[in-house]
C-alpha cells in the first residue's frame, strides 16, 4: 500500500515568514492531532480544510515548539487524495526541523523527493504528464514556459495524447476481434476501413511532434555560445545583453574561471548566454585551458554568436576560429534543413557579429561573406548599443523561425514525451504500410500495440516503475 504516512518540510530551505510542514497518509490526523494544543484544550478533529490556531508541543519535554496554523484536510479532496495535514509555522529552519522531528517521532516517515506528487499520480489525481508539469511549473524561467507548464498541468496535453490512444485502440480492437473470433460473424477488417483510423491517430501525434522542438526550447532554453578570438568584445557583448534586457531571468551559478553563463529572456525563451575566454592558438598552458573550455562551450551550444572586431582587418586567428566553428557544424542555413536532419548532421545556426561599429571599419566584409556564405551578419557596438536590437531579432528569427507562441498553445516541452511520440509515429506508420502490403493482421496489431504503449508512457499508464522512480526522484523533497 502507498498510504503509510509521510511528512516533509514543503517550503524552501532558509528563513521565511511562514514555513509549512506537510503530512500525508492514512494516519496523518492521528499523527498530528496529539501534538496540537488549542485554546480551550479541545481534542476533537477540527473541520476539514479550515485553519486551526494552536501550539505545537513537544510530547517528551512539553516544550512549546511554535505557534501555528494547522489545516486538517480529508481525503480525497487533497493534493495526494489521502488525508493531509499542513502545519504552518514560523519560517525558520530550526523551528521547522523540530516540528518535523516531533511529527516523525509520532510514526510518520520522512517523504522521499517528489513522493507527495507521486502519490497524487498513483492515486489517480494527476497523470504522469501532469505530475511532470508540476515540476516544470516550479522550475519555469519565463512566463511563456510557465504558461505551457500550466496547460500541461490542466491536462490539455494528456487529452490530445489520449485521443490518439483511443483511436489506436479502436483499430486494435477491430483487428483482435476478427482474430479471436474468426468463425463468428465478425468480418476481417479491410485496409480501407482501418487506414483512416490509423491516419487519425497519426495526425494527432504528428501535430504534437511538430511543435515539440519549439516547446522544448521554452522549457530547456537555448545554449548560446559567444565565440571569437580574444579582445573582439565578447564579454562586452554579454554585458550589453544583460544591461539592455530588462527581463533577466536567472543568474546561473556555473561560473567557471573561463566561461560565464547568464540567462536572459528572449521572447519567452530562456537564452543561456555563455561567454568564453576566446579561441586562439597558444603555448601558455593556463591560457590553453581557457581555450579548451571555449571549444567545449561551442561544441555544446545550440546557437553560436561568432564575434569579430570590425575595426581591424581579419586576422589569421579569425580565420582559424571560423574554420573550427564550421567543423563543429555551425553555419548551414537552418531553413534548408528539417529539424531531424539538423540533429543527424549536428547542423546549428550561427550569427556573425561585427562588433565595434562605432570605430572606422577595416574588416574585409567580402572575405567574411566568402567564408560564411549563408550566415546573417549584424554590426554592433557595445559602446552605443547600436545593433543590439537587430541581434536580438536575428536570434529570435533563427530560433523561432517565425513561429509564435499563442497563449492557448499546447506544446510538448519534454524530451521524454517527444521521444515516446516519435516511437508512436514510427509504429503507426509501420502499421499503415503493413496494411497496404496485406501483411497478416496479427503483425499489424503488434505495431499498433507498441504505438499504444508508447503513448501510454506519456500519460503514465504504461510507464515502468523504474521510469516513475527516475522521474519523481528529480523532484525536491516536500513536493
479 is in an annotated binding site: yes
CB contact set of 270 (below 8 Å; sequence gap of 6+): 141, 142, 145, 218, 220, 221, 222, 249, 250, 263, 264
> Does the annotation flag 250 for ligand binding?
yes
Under the criterion CB under 6 A, does residue 381 sit at the interface with ligand GDP?
yes
Instruction: Identify which of residues 67 and 316 has a Cβ nearer to ligand GDP in the complex.
Output: 316
231 touches, from Zn ion, ligand GDP, none (C-beta below 5 to 8 Å by class): ligand GDP
**379 counts as binding ligand GDP under rule CB under 6 A:** no
Min CB(310)–ligand GDP separation in Å: 9
234 is in an annotated binding site: yes
Chain contacts with Zn ion (rule: CB under 5 A): 234-235
| C-alpha distances in Å from residue 46, one per residue of 181, 207, 364 | 59, 50, 79
Nearer to Zn ion by C-beta: 168 or 235? Answer: 235
Report d(CA 39, CA 55) in Å as an integer. 9
Residues 6 or more apart whose CB falls under 8 angstroms from that of 465 comprise none
Q: Is 352 helix (H, G, I), strand (E, B) or coil?
A: strand
Comparing CB distances to ligand GDP, the nearer of 194 and 321 is 321
- The answer to whether the annotation marks 37 as part of a ligand binding site is no
Using the rule CB under 6 A, which residue among 58, 186, 383, 429 binds ligand GDP? 383
Which of 119, 125, 219, 356 binds ligand GDP (CB under 6 A)? It is: 356
Helical (H) or strand (E) element with 64: strand 64-73
Phi, then psi, of 4 in degrees rounded to 5: -65, 160
How far apart CA 196 and CA 201 sit, in angstroms, is 9
Q: Residue 302 annotated as binding? A: no
Task: Give the closest residue to 268 by CA, choosing from 247, 240, 242.
Answer: 247
**226 marked ligand binding residue:** no
Stretch that binds ligand GDP, among 54-62, 124-132, 379-387, 414-422 (CB under 6 A): 379-387
**Measured distance CA(280)–CA(266) in Å, rounded:** 30
- Backbone dihedral angles phi then psi of residue 237, each to the nearest 5 degrees: -65, -45
- In whole angstroms, the minimum distance from the beta carbon of 397 to Zn ion comes to 26
Q: How many CB atoms lie within 10 A of CB 196?
A: 10
Is residue 355 a contact point for ligand GDP (CB under 6 A)? yes
Closer residue to ligand GDP (CB): 88 or 357: 357
- Residue 331 binds which one of ligand GDP, Zn ion, none, with CB within 5 to 8 A depending on kind? none
Measured CA to CA, the distance from residue 305 to residue 308 in angstroms comes to 10
Please tell me whether 251 is known to bind a ligand: yes
Q: How far is the CB of 357 from ligand GDP (least distance, A)?
A: 7
- Segment near ligand GDP (CB under 6 A); pick from 33-41, 58-66, 187-195, 352-360: 352-360
Which of ligand GDP, Zn ion, none binds 100 (CB below 5-8 Å, type-dependent)?
Answer: none
Report residue 81 CA to chain centroid gap.
26
Minimum CB–partner distance for residue 267 and ligand GDP (Å): 24
CA separation for the pair 97, 196 (Å, rounded): 60
Neighbours of 284 (CB within 10 A): 9
Question: What is the signed CA dihedral for 357, 362, 237, 358, rounded to 10 degrees?
Answer: -20
Q: In the set 278, 331, 432, 460, which binds ligand GDP (CB under 6 A)? A: 278
Give the 3-state secondary structure percentages of the chain, helix then strand then coil, rounded to 5: 50, 20, 35
Single out the residue of 11, 78, 214, 236 in contact with ligand GDP (rule: CB under 6 A): 236
Nearer to ligand GDP, 133 or 321 (CB): 321
Q: Applying CB under 6 A, does 230 fall inside the site for ligand GDP?
A: yes
310 binds ligand GDP (CB under 6 A): no
Bridge-based pairing state of the strands 269-275 and 260-266 = antiparallel
Helix (H) or strand (E) holding 435: helix 415-436
* Minimum CB distance to Zn ion, residue 239 (Å): 10
Cβ at position 359, least distance to ligand GDP in Å? 5
Q: Considering the complex, what minimum distance in angstroms separates the CB of residue 258 from Zn ion? A: 9
Does the protein bind ligand GDP through residue 233 (CB under 6 A)? yes
Q: How far is the CB of 327 from Zn ion (least distance, A)?
A: 23
The stretch near ligand GDP (CB under 6 A) out of 29-37, 199-207, 381-389, 435-443 is: 381-389
Q: How many residues bind ligand GDP (CB under 6 A)?
A: 16
Residue indicated by cell numbers 491536462: 155
Q: Considering only residues 21, 167, 232, 458, which one is a binding residue for ligand GDP as defined by CB under 6 A?
A: 232
Distance separating the N- and C-terminal Cα atoms of the chain: 20
Q: How many CB atoms lie within 10 A of CB 288?
A: 13
Nearest Cα to 303, choosing from 212, 376, 251? 376
- Please give the full DSSP string across 155-170, using - where no structure is assigned: THHHHHHHHHHHHHHH
Q: Select the span of 86-94, 177-185, 226-234, 366-374 touching ligand GDP (CB under 6 A).
A: 226-234
What cell was used for 9? 518540510
Output the known binding site for K(+).
231, 250, 252, 255
Output the known binding site.
22, 86, 125, 231-236, 250-256, 275-278, 479
Q: Which residues bind ligand GDP (CB under 6 A)?
A: 228, 230-236, 278, 355-356, 358-359, 381-383
Amino acid at each position: 500500500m502507498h498510504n503509510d504516512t509521510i511528512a516533509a518540510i514543503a517550503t524552501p530551505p532558509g528563513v521565511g515568514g511562514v514555513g509549512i510542514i506537510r503530512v500525508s497518509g492514512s494516519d496523518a490526523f492521528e499523527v498530528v492531532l496529539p501534538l496540537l494544543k488549542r485554546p480551550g484544550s479541545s481534542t476533537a478533529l477540527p473541520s476539514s480544510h479550515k485553519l486551526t490556531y494552536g501550539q505545537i508541543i513537544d510530547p517528551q519535554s512539553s516544550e512549546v515548539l511554535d505557534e501555528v496554523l494547522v489545516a486538517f484536510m480529508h481525503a480525497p479532496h487533497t493534493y495526494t487524495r489521502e488525508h493531509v495535514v499542513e502545519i504552518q509555522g514560523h519560517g525558520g529552519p530550526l523551528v521547522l526541523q523540530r516540528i518535523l522531528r516531533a511529527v516523525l517521532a509520532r510514526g510518520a516517515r520522512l517523504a522521499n523527493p517528489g513522493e507527495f506528487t507521486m502519490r497524487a499520480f498513483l492515486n489517480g489525481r494527476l497523470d504522469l504528464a501532469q505530475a511532470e508539469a508540476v515540476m516544470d511549473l516550479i522550475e519555469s524561467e519565463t512566463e511563456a514556459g510557465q504558461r505551457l507548464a500550466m496547460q500541461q498541468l490542466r491536462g490539455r496535453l494528456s487529452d490530445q495524447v489520449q485521443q490518439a490512444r483511443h483511436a489506436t485502440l479502436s483499430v486494435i480492437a477491430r483487428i483482435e476481434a476478427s482474430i479471436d473470433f474468426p468463425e463468428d460473424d465478425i468480418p476481417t477488417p479491410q485496409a480501407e476501413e482501418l487506414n483512416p483510423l490509423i491516419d487519425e491517430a497519426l495526425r494527432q501525434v504528428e501535430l504534437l511532434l511538430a511543435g515539440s522542438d519549439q516547446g522544448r526550447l521554452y522549457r530547456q532554453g537555448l545554449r548560446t555560445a559567444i565565440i571569437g578570438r580574444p579582445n573582439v568584445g565578447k564579454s562586452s557583448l554579454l554585458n550589453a545583453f544583460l544591461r539592455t534586457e530588462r527581463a533577466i531571468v536567472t543568474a546561473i551559478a556555473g561560473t567557471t574561471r573561463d566561461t560565464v553563463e547568464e540567462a536572459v529572456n528572449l521572447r519567452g525563451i530562456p537564452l543561456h548566454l555563455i561567454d568564453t575566454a576566446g579561441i586562439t592558438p597558444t603555448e601558455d598552458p593556463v591560457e590553453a585551458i581557457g581555450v579548451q573550455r571555449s571549444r567545449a562551450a561551442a561544441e555544446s551550444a545550440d546557437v553560436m554568436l561568432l564575434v569579430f572586431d570590425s575595426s581591424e582587418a581579419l586576422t589569421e586567428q579569425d580565420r582559424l576560429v571560423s574554420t573550427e566553428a564550421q567543423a563543429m557544424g555551425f553555419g548551414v542555413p537552418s531553413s534548408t534543413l528539417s529539424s531531424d536532419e539538423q540533429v543527424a548532421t549536428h547542423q546549428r545556426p550561427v550569427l556573425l557579429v561585427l562588433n565595434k561599429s562605432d570605430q572606422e571599419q577595416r574588416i574585409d566584409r567580402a572575405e567574411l561573406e566568402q567564408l560564411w556564405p549563408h550566415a546573417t551578419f549584424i554590426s554592433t557596438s557595445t559602446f552605443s548599443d547600436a545593433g543590439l536590437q537587430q541581434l536580438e531579432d536575428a536570434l529570435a528569427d533563427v530560433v523561432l523561425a517565425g513561429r509564435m507562441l499563442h497563449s492557448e498553445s499546447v506544446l510538448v516541452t519534454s524530451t521524454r514525451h517527444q521521444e515516446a511520440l516519435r516511437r508512436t509515429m514510427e509504429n503507426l506508420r509501420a502499421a499503415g504500410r503493413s496494411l497496404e502490403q496485406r501483411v497478416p493482421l496479427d503483425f499489424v496489431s503488434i505495431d499498433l500495440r507498441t504505438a499504444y504503449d508508447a503513448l501510454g508512457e506519456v500519460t503514465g499508464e504504461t510507464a515502468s516503475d523504474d521510469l516513475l522512480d527516475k522521474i519523481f526522484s528529480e523532484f525536491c523533497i516536500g513536493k
